[in-house]
Amino acid sequence: MKKLLCRVGLALLLLVVLLFGSWLWVRQQATHAGREVASESSPGASCTLKTYVRNYDALGVPGRIVGLLSGSQYFYRVNDRQGEQLATSEWTIWQYEVGGDEAAHWIGSAALYPTTEGWAAWRLSQCNL
């Protein structure tokens, strides 16, 4: 009996790890297939805050299933003038980013983007130039 419970527990653990890994892979692929929908330059034009939408549909049925379970379709990135990525919200899985009516914007060197809990922000001193 003890061996059976151990095997069942190990099988369940393996299943959870496999499902979580699959979810992460599909989410990453949907991010790569995503498209830019908006762009906003910082006051000194030294940085750009971009809004993206993940494309779960590009991955077929698995993508649609993960899209239903993943929550946020949107994510945000800040790049400097040379194109280097300074910040991203694509892996903040505890946060539900929104888009559409609420637009991401700058207040001084702070890049603000909308979430279901209000506004999230990054303070980036290099974007204050």
Domain assignment present for residue 51? The answer is yes
**Closest C-alpha among 32, 51, 40, 68 to residue 115:** 51
The range of the structural domain enclosing residue 76 comes to 36-127
Domain assignment present for residue 1? The answer is no
Domain assignment present for residue 27? The answer is no
pTM, two decimals, is: 0.83
**Closest C-alpha among 93, 51, 58, 56 to residue 75:** 51
pLDDT digits (tens, 9 = 90+) for 41-73: 998 889 999 999 999 888 888 888 888 877 788
Q: How many domains does the chain have?
A: 1
Distance CA 32, CA 51 (A): 14
